[in-house]
């Protein structure tokens, strides 16, 4: 089974207006509320690809209830641990440019953490756990590392979509895939890239440090996959970008879901790219029809 973990889910409150003027009363042209959080987005993409998965994490209050109901409406399996405080609301303003204001999220009590962790005792070598998104304000990185140790001790695989020191720290535990974008990769090694060769050189370091597969996403410029003996490059298909929120989560969903099914990294990369672009070209996350439309446009070449 594939499990996603969203420690700090959200209602994504999408607000559209022609122009945002600071210090004035602004009126919306359109608004929408979506269940959000990176792990939840991965789960929704897996579901679109027809892959069985369970969304885990913490949900609380009326906002948490909304997220749970929206996910159940689309038939997603969930097993969220209830918490006392309200799930956060993240505001996504689409005006002359895109601005995101993400909430801090609820604090999680020790008893709530213990109830959540108990679920991991039953994992087996057939399972994959995907951690994605920020932690609750009172939890530190050890929250993930302790769980990763437990997961690896059961022989299960894990993926963690994180950056900086936290990413470096998890590599020794051999994540199934890591997917920094090119800017995150440069920050990670405190360097400036002058071309694709640099990106490949530093991406390869992640492989050497323990990652099983390395993807580097480059937004509208496509992506790279670095394996032990090959580097694959894809240019993103052209299209009208409607929404950049969740393209990275979609890429992870497409890669991990397809890899779990086929064990073929190249096919998994192809689906990852298609899901990322399909989301960029959709109002919400990509649906199956959009992913199917984009798949034949994905061209991958050896670099
Ligand atoms: N403007 C775009 N046009 C076409 N494809 C895109 C575009 N933006 C993203 N994609 C596809 O989605 C993949 C992931 O996007 P991106 O590199 O923006 O990830 P990210 O930085 O993790 O994004 P986010 O944090 O916004 O979800 C890219 O590698 C690309 O294949
Ligand atoms: O605050 P975090 O956890 O880093 O990011 C949360 C978030 O911005 O990420 C998703 C898009 O990737 C959104 O659905 C959600 O609002």
Give per-residue pLDDT as tens, 62-121: 999 999 999 999 999 999 999 999 999 999 999 999 999 999 999 999 999 999 999 999
34 and 143 assigned to the same domain: yes
Ligand 2 center from residue 196 Cα (angstroms): 28
What is the domain-level CATH number for residue 208? 3.40.1190.20
12 Cβ closer than 6 Å to some ligand 2 atom: yes
Residue numbers of the domain that contains 96: 1-21+29-171
249 is catalytic: yes
Residues within a 6 A CB radius of ligand 1: 181, 217-220, 222-223, 236, 241, 244, 246-249, 251, 273, 276-277, 280
Does residue 104 share a domain with residue 39? yes
- Pick the last residue of a domain from 150, 171, 192: 171
Task: Return mean pLDDT, the chain.
Answer: 96
- 3-class secondary structure for the chain? CEEEEECCCEEEEEEECCCCCCCCCCCCCEEEEEEECHHHHHHHHHHHCCCCEEEEEEEEHHHHHHHHHHHHHCCCEECCEEECCCCEEEEEEECCCEEEECCCCCCCCHHHHHHHHHHHHHCCCCCEEEEECCCCCCCCCHHHHHHHHHHHHCCCEEEEECCHHHHHHHHHHCCCCECCEHHHHHHHCCCCCCCHHHHHHHHHHHHHCCCCCEEEECHHHCEEEECCCCEEEECCCCCCCCCCCCHHHHHHHHHHHHHHHHCCHHHHHHHHHHHHHHHHCCCCCCCHHHHHHHHHHCCEEEC
- What's the pLDDT score for residue 244? 80
The complex scores an ipTM of 0.97
For residues 245 and 152, state if they share a domain.
Answer: no
Q: Which of 52, 249, 264, 284 is catalytic?
A: 249
**Mean pLDDT, residues 48-59:** 97
With a cut of 90, say whether residue 245 has pLDDT above it: no
Residues 104 and 156 in one domain: yes
Looking at 171, 205, 232, the residue that finishes a domain is 171
Q: Relative to the CA of 92, which ligand 2 atom is closest?
A: 16
Let me know whether 37 and 185 are in one domain: no
Does residue 162 carry a pLDDT above 90? Answer: no
Last residue of a domain, one of 171, 186, 219: 171
Confidence band of 164 (pLDDT split at 50, 70, 90): confident
Question: What pLDDT shows up at residue 243?
Answer: 85
Residues 121 and 181 occupy one common structural domain? no
> How many independent structural domains does the chain possess?
2
């Amino acid at each position: 089974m594939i499990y996603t973990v969203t420690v700090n889910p959200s209602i994504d409150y999408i607000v559209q207006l022609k122009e945002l003027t600071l210090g004035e009363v602004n009126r919306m042209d359109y608004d929408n509320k979506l269940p959000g959080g990176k792990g939840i987005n991965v789960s929704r993409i897996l579901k679109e690809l027809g892959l069985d998965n369970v969304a885990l994490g913490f949900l609380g209050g009326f906002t948490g209830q909304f997220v749970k109901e929206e996910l159940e409406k689309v038939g997603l399996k969930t097993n969220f641990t209830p918490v006392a405080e309200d799930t956060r609301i993240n505001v996504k303003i689409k005006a002359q440019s895109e601005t995101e204001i993400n909430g801090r999220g609820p604090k999680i009590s020790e008893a709530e953490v213990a109830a959540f962790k108990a679920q991991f005792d039953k994992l087996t070598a057939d399972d994959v756990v995907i951690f994605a998104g920020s932690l609750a304000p009172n939890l530190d990185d050890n929250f993930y590392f302790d769980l990763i140790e437990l997961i690896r001790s059961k022989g299960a695989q894990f993926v963690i979509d994180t950056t900086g020191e936290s990413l470096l720290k998890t590599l020794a535990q051999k994540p199934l895939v890591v997917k920094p974008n090119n800017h995150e990769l440069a920050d990670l090694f405190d360097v400036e890239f002058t071309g694709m060769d640099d990106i490949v050189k530093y991406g390869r370091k992640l492989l050497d440090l323990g990652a099983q597969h390395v993807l580097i996403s480059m937004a509208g410029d496509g992506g790279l996959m670095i394996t032990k003996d090959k580097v694959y490059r894809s240019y993103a298909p052209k299209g009208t970008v409607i929404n950049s929120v969740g393209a990275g989560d979609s890429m992870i969903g497409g890669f991990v879901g397809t890899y779990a099914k086929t064990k073929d990294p190249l096919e998994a990369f192809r689906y990852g790219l298609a899901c990322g672009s399909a989301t960029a070209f959709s109002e919400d996350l990509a649906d199956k029809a959009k992913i199917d439309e984009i798949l034949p446009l994905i061209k991958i070449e050896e670099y």
